[in-house]
Amino acid sequence: MGKVRLAINREVTAGLIARGHRTIRPSAAQVFRGLDRGGTRLTELARRAEITKQSMGSLVAELEADGYLERVPDPADGRAKLVRLTRKGQGLARDITDLGGQVESRLLEGLGARRMQAVRTGLERMLEELGETYRTDWFARGRGE
C-alpha cells in the first residue's frame, strides 16, 4: 500500500512540475492535507501529519519562501499564527485536485468500476479497523473556499 501511495504522489508531483510548480516536492502533501479553510496552526499541522513541529516548520518555511503559504495572525489568539494558502497556493491546490482526478480516472479505466470500488471500500475498512477516518475534504478545506 505504501508503494501505491508513493507512486501516486510521485505522479502528481511530476504533473505539478510540468505545470510550472518546479519547487514542489512530495513531502509538501503533508502540509496541504492538514490545512483548514481559514488556516491552521503549525502545531496542529504537525500533529495531523504525525511529524515533529520542527519538521513541519521546515516544510512550511520552504513552501512559504516559494510563495505557496503565508503565516497570518490567528484571530482567536493574537500571539499565535495560522498557516494558510496564498493565491499561488490556491492555484497549486486546484492543480493537485485536477491531477489527482486524472490519476483516479486512469486507475478507474485500468481496473474498472467494480474493482475500483472494491479497492476504495477495502481501504476505508482498513482505516476504520485502525481507528482512522478517511478525509475526502482535505483540499476543499485548504483552498480557502
Residue 67, phi-psi category: left (phi > 0), alpha (psi -120 to 50), beta (remainder): left
- Those residues with Cβ within 8 angstroms of residue 8's Cβ, 6 or more apart along the chain or in another chain: 100, 103
Angle at 35 between CA 32 and CA 41, to 5 degrees: 125
Local confidence band at 69 (pLDDT 50, 70, 90 cut-offs)? very high
Of 118 and 140, which is predicted with more confidence? 118
Q: Is the dihedral angle over the CA atoms 90, 94, 99, 101 positive or is it negative?
A: positive
Taking only the tens place, the pLDDT of each residue in 4-58 is 888 888 899 899 999 999 988 888 888 988 899 889 999 999 999 999 999 999 9
> Per the structure block, which three cell numbers stand in for 97?
485536485
Task: Say how many residues make up the chain.
Answer: 145
Q: What's the pTM value of the predicted model, to 2 decimals? A: 0.77
